Amino acid sequence: MQPAEVIRAGKYVKRKAGTLDMASCKRLILAMAAAAAPLFAPMAAHASLGDTSNHLLDQFASVSHPDAITPEKPIMLPATQHVAAPDESAFQAEVSGFNMPSLPSMAVAELPQPSVEMPLKKLACVEYARARSGLAVFGDAKFWWARAKNLYARLRTPVENSVMVFTATPKMRLGHVAVVTNIVSKREIRVDQANWQNHGEIDRSTPIMDVSAKNDWSKVRVWDIKSGQYGNVYAVSGFIAKNLTRQADAE
């Protein structure tokens, strides 16, 4: 069947798309096979040539490369070399003779420098200490030590967040109270306080040094920010702490 017949058969099948005629379909298939046969002939020829060239290449490899891998010649892996485990004793001896550099110690956080703050409203020492500490003690500062009895822990040595009670003197008739913010050493603390300079100001991180003979904080000197040195000696009644278990009083 010629290509023209294939076209005519195809048109016939297209016209009969609803009900395909078996004979027409058979004629179309045979015509297509006959028309396509010349196209596949060169491919078959090339395939046979490829088989021959592959065979020749295999023969060349077997002659020129005696180590070539063939199905009859299995792959030979190199022998595994045994590596001896390291001598742990020698390693430890080497390490022990090496001095590791020492790490720098963690720097202690620097305390804030003494400073003065002027609030919108002038403050008394008692109202500032009460607001900062949460102690429900009222009246002038000179009464705080006695009024804290049986209410809060009264201590002879400072603890953070406790209220330091200064004893009244002729020059400081109402007494004074300050809030302990930092314990620097056995002889030094930092306090926040109000109205120490009688201006209603807030003095922050004020250094206070214990100058008592027995280190019992009965006598102290307060840092004067104006002159940059410690001032006069003041008597201290003790320290009032809110969140500590009540302790028996000395007197």
The rounded distance, in Å, linking the Cα atoms of 31 and 29 is 5
Per-residue confidence of the chain (251 residues) as pLDDT tens digits?
455 554 454 554 455 444 556 666 566 666 666 665 555 555 444 444 444 444 444 443 444 444 444 444 444 444 444 444 444 444 344 333 333 333 333 333 688 999 999 999 999 999 999 999 999 999 999 999 999 999 999 999 999 999 999 999 999 999 999 999 999 999 999 999 999 999 999 999 999 999 999 999 999 999 999 999 999 999 999 999 997 644 444 44
pLDDT of residue 74: 46
pLDDT of residue 5: 52
Dihedrals φ, ψ of 134, to 5°?
A: 80, 10
Tell me which residue of 184, 250, 170 sits closest to 223, measured CA to CA. Answer: 184
Residue 62 pairs in a beta bridge with none
Lookup: tokens for 166: 């200064």
DSSP string covering the chain, please? --HHHHHHHHHHHHHTSSS--HHHHHHHHHHHHHHHHHHHHHHHHHHHHHHHHHHHHHHHHHHH-TT--BTTB---PPPPPPPPPP-HHHHHHHHHTS-PPPPPPPPPPPPPPPEEE--SS---HHHHHHHHH-----S-GGGHHHHTTTTSEEESS--TTPEEEEPP-SSSTT-EEEEEEEEEETTEEEEEEESTTSSS-EEEEEEEEE--TTSSSSEEEEEETTTTEEEEEEEEEEEEESSS-------
Instruction: Determine contact, residues 204/123, Cβ cutoff 8 Å.
Output: no
Dihedrals φ, ψ of 74, to 5°?
A: -70, 160
Lookup: tokens for 143: 């009464």
Tell me which residue of 97, 124, 217 sits closest to 167, measured CA to CA. Answer: 217
The rounded distance, in Å, linking the Cα atoms of 192 and 33 is 107
For the chain, what is the radius of gyration of the CA atoms? 52
Cα–Cα distances in angstroms (integers) from residue 148 to residues 3, 139, 153, 156, 174, in the given order:
121, 11, 8, 14, 16
